[in-house]
Amino acid sequence: MLLHLGRSRCGMKLKELAAESGLEGFGAVAMAIKRYQNELARDANEAARMNNLIQMLRWDANGIR
């Protein structure tokens, strides 16, 4: 989930995500993100969790809390 958010919402590069997460190389990060995207497509509950998290992050970023 966090790798997906880092890539899609923060615009982090695969190399940056690999360094921050401790994964071996950007290929492993790309594969993990792809697997998670597939899970989002298959699992409505996970997609709802992701959407809720994105909404919470938007709320925080706008200083509404």
pTM of the model: 0.81
Per-residue pLDDT for 3 more than 90? yes
What is the structure's pLDDT at 62?
Answer: 64
Query: Which residue matches tokens 């995500």?
Result: 17
Number of structural domains the chain divides into? 1
Query: Distance (Å, rounded) from C-alpha 26 to C-alpha 46?
Result: 24
Query: Residue 52 and residue 65: Cα distance in Å, rounded?
Result: 15
CB 3 within 8 A of CB 21: yes
pLDDT digits (tens, 9 = 90+) for 20-45: 999 989 999 999 999 999 999 999 99
Mean pLDDT across the chain, nearest whole number? Answer: 90
Q: For residue 29, what pLDDT is reported? A: 95
With contact defined as beta carbons under 8 Å apart, do 50 and 40 qualify? Answer: yes
Token code pair at residue 60: 């925080």
39-62: pLDDT as tens digits: 999 999 999 999 999 988 886 666
The two structure tokens encoding residue 38: 């597939």
